[in-house]
Amino acid sequence: MSISVLVGAQWGDEGKGKMIDYLSRDCDLIVRFQGGDNAGHTVINEHGVFKLHLIPSGIFNKGGECLIGTGTVVNPDVLEDEIKQIEDAGVRMSGLKISGKAHILMPYHQKLDELMEAAGGIGTTKRGIGQAYSYKALRKNLRFEDLLNLNSARKKLEAILPVINNQMRAYGAEDYTVDFLYEKCEKWAERFASMIVDPIRYLHSYIDADKNILFEGQLAAMKDIDLGIYPYVTSSNPTAAYAAVSGGFSAKKIDRVIGVAKAFSSAVGAGPFPTEEFEGDIDLIRGKGDKPDDEFGARTGRSRRLGWLDIPVLKYTNLINGFDTLALCKIDKLDNLPEIKVCVAYELDGEVIDYFPNTEELERVKPVYETLPGWMCSTKEIRRLEDLPENAKKYIKTIEELVGTTVGYVGVGPDREELAV
């Protein structure tokens, strides 16, 4: 048996979908353990190009099952659309299960997100994720297990809606009615009841049978609500330990933590981003948005903020996750650069610091760069780490030495098989 957890090691959009798709071939169960449909995990394989928002990226693994886990918030309408997209590509969905303890993202969550962003927000995806998690903490949500008892679901809606509608009125928006939402619950129950499982019994049946389990994180450690750049964060915990917390098993059972990083840095939304640059060589990486691996958000379509690789970020996310190995994606995007800058430290108020600063300090830091030689040749066809160009190997070695972990996978293109191992 092996339990592995894969998480983003930077700011999100690192290539987690590609890596899950690749690694899931050796797994019996893949679990998406937090987040909602603000995620955008791009998967490119023999079935086509997919931008997955809720369904685990291992759904294309014919030999295993997938679980949308307890720590997620799930918009059932988005899930229905995503299932159809995958089924239309000829992929079976019988192996997809939903935790009965996963929270349902309701229409009013998304509406409140839109209203709050319009009043002055942080650049959310307006999918209602933060609102769903907020009402989870207030004990004012429905969970998927409520769809198995619609009479109980209706009573809960009757208790929840006065609170919701008071907030709607504060923004000048219309009330929601119990009848409207109950009709949606009836539809969702008909569609998803057969997929809902008791997550504790289900997951532990795999653990007890010594199966291989892979947990898939959404976004990245720098967006963790507790350990990230608060308040410019998501509303959940995309760090490795939360896989055990939301999964209901001992963290001592985790065998391997895989961090996924780009060979440079990117971010979406507001907040500090120390290595950000707006022109020059770094902008050559962006693309025009007509290719699936161009630097535009899979969920929002927004152009991503770009910067050079940030070693202090990777050291920090390694510290809070404990990476056994890194997957370094999109190194091919650097193929044509004669020189590559790497941020090796931060300078704060005139002094180089040896710790990761808080959010306000991070706004003020200046990156300390080292410049490494590029390799000026294509890496797209390389499938073994030892066959990479010498300067690419030196780039990777520098990362390993500074971060304090190994690089076990190197992405050389967007497709599942475009990987050097």
* Residue 304, annotated as binding a ligand: yes
- Cα–Cα distance, 285 to 296 (Å, whole number): 11
| Closest among 305, 329, 300, 326 to 44, alpha carbons compared | 329
Instruction: Establish whether 13 is a catalytic residue.
Output: yes
89 exposure class (CB count in 10 Å sphere: 0-12, 13-18, 19+): middle
Instruction: Establish whether 53 is a catalytic residue.
Output: no
Q: How crowded is the C-beta side of 360, counted as CA atoms within 13 Å?
A: 0
* Residue 366, annotated as binding a ligand: no
* Residue 14, annotated as binding a ligand: yes
- Cα–Cα distance, 396 to 403 (Å, whole number): 11
* Residue 134, annotated as binding a ligand: no
* Residue 109, annotated as binding a ligand: no
Buried b (16+ CB within 10 A) or exposed e, 223-250: bbbebbbeebbbbbbbbbbbbbebbebe
* Residue 303, annotated as binding a ligand: yes
Catalytic residue among 13, 146, 224, 293: 13
Catalytic residue among 21, 28, 41, 293: 41
* Residue 332, annotated as binding a ligand: yes
* Residue 379, annotated as binding a ligand: no
| Closest among 4, 6, 2 to 326, alpha carbons compared | 6
* Residue 15, annotated as binding a ligand: yes
* Residue 302, annotated as binding a ligand: yes
* Residue 39, annotated as binding a ligand: yes
Q: Supply 199's token pair.
A: 């997550």
Contact 242, 67 (CB under 8 A): no
Binding positions are 12-18, 38-42, 125, 139, 234, 298-304, 330-332, 411-413
Binding positions for IMP are 13-16, 38-41, 125, 139, 234, 302
Which residues have a catalytic role annotated?
13, 41
Binding positions for Mg(2+) are 13, 40
Binding positions for substrate are 298-304
Binding positions for GTP are 12-18, 40-42, 304, 330-332, 411-413
